[in-house]
Amino acid sequence: MTTELDALQATLAAEHAAVYVLGLIGSRTSESAEAPLYTAVRGAYEAHRDTRDALIGEIAGLGATPSPAAVAYTAPAGLDTPDGRYQAALALEKACASTYAALVGATSGPRRLEAIGLLNDAAARELSFRGTPEIFPGADEYADR
């Protein structure tokens, strides 16, 4: 149970960071001039916010205290251009996919199915941020297959 709880807490930490970074990217993205990016960022923000909130409830339901958000996060470089915002969002989704892959490995049953769903969603969001399809998203050791 400790390994599973640790993985849930690590995923929650990643979600806290994702909500912050996507909010920052969204605040610098024009809905009219950069509609595809704005739509993708908004959708990702809402998905990560919902996942964060669900994880908080799930961890509390296990009798543990959910990890709080960090006091501060480092803003990604390059947010002053659309390409930089795409790159930052893609890097964020790749990082979340790695966290979700670890969650898949640390869980079983219905919780593992939920983690697989999160991993699938992250892989799909990567495509909306100019990513390329991968056979094993979130598992860098298999990226060349």
pLDDT digits (tens, 9 = 90+) for 26-42: 999 999 999 999 999 99
CA distances from 52 to 14, 134, 141 (A): 9, 25, 27
Cα(106)–Cα(97) distance, integer angstroms: 14
pLDDT digits (tens, 9 = 90+) for 81-125: 999 999 999 999 999 999 999 999 999 999 999 999 999 999 999
Q: Is the pLDDT of residue 145 over 90?
A: no
Domain around 22: 2-69+76-142
Cα(141)–Cα(24) distance, integer angstroms: 30
Residue 143: the pLDDT is 61
* CATH number, domain with residue 29: 1.20.1260.10
- The answer, as to whether pTM is greater than 0.85, is yes
* Structural domains in the chain (count): 1
